[in-house]
Amino acid sequence: MKFSKYHALGNDYIVIDPKYLDNKLSEESIKMICDRHFGVGSDGVLYGPEKSDSCDFSLRIFNPDSSEAEKSGNGLRIFSRYLWDQSLVSDNKFTIETKGGVVNSTVSENGLSVTVGMGKVRFTHDSIGDPKPTPKVINIKDRELTYYLANVGNPHCVILLDDVNDSLAKEYGSIIENAPRFTNRTNVQFVKVIDRSSIQIEIWERGAGYTLASGSSSTAAASVVHALGLCDSNIDVHMPGGIINIQLNKQFFGTMTGAVRKICEGTISREVLESL
């Protein structure tokens, strides 16, 4: 099984091109590929490009637990870079179909930077959204936390605090992700506003766990703080893995720009696949 591995600010994905496979990926093979001891190791698998009736390309995104994600900002940037490396796209804008909606993507800086139109952010997890973020409360362990819902094609729970750190995300993230009120689970962002154009976030990603960076999380968090009047429309999102820039228009359509780096490419041996 041929693969290519990239990272977007420390959020790493394996790209599996269906043209190199006889059969579609199984749940067991996805878990093995993502395992950092028994496989290649990654925060997820990008399965594509596949054909699309409405877009230039179609992409499926799988978490390390083999669940399928609707959308991933970092995954989309990495997939865009893979298409560029394969000479399937140039520096012109192209479209990608995901389960979380259609996105526009542009590769620049000789492949080192990718801009993705993440779509309109809705302040809900349902099909019909609130026009603005509405505060809700959840009690976890010894804390009462106020959160805001956001949907970027996938669900997010945004929690504003005076200080954030990785320990906070690791302690509370999994409990919030799997809280019964979130029927499809949720991504979780712990957010600190730095100034009018900057925020800091720590991320617990649905199906993946603690994550160094996330494009959809950055878009969700930036949209909430902008809607609450805490930040302007052009926001740098600081994460342990680096910085993503989010620009929002008046309709809360988010445009994300961030770095991508290619790590390696190779072949997963047959003996590992046959052991599944």
217-265 pLDDT, tens per residue?
999 999 999 999 999 999 999 999 999 999 999 999 999 999 999 999 9
pLDDT classification of 128: cutoffs 50, 70, 90: low
Percentage of the chain modeled with pLDDT above 70: 99
- Residues with Cβ within 8 Å of 221's Cβ and at least 6 positions away in sequence, in order, are 150, 156, 158, 189, 191, 199, 201, 237
Do domains 2-117+260-274 and 136-256 share one topology? The answer is: yes
Distance CA 107, CA 84 (A): 7
Burial (CB count <10 Å: 0-12, 13-18, 19+), residue 190: buried
pLDDT for the residue 190 = 98
Query: pTM, whole model, 2 decimals?
Result: 0.94
- What pLDDT is attached to residue 275? 78
Q: What mean pLDDT comes out for the span 69-74?
A: 96
- List the single range of 48-52, 202-206, 269-273 with lowest mean pLDDT: 269-273
pLDDT given for residue 270 in this prediction: 86
Domain ranges of the chain: 2-117+260-274, 136-256
**Per-residue pLDDT, 131:** 77
Instruction: Give me the pLDDT at residue 22, please.
Output: 79
CATH fold of 2-117+260-274: Diaminopimelate Epimerase; Chain A, domain 1 (3.10.310)
Question: What digits encode the pLDDT tens for the residues 160-197?
Answer: 999 999 999 999 999 999 999 999 999 999 999 999 99
One-letter identity of residue 90: S
6-54 residue pLDDT tens: 999 999 999 999 999 877 889 999 999 999 999 999 999 999 999 999 9
CATH fold of 136-256: Diaminopimelate Epimerase; Chain A, domain 1 (3.10.310)
State the Cα–Cα distance between residues 212 and 34, nearest whole angstrom.
Answer: 16
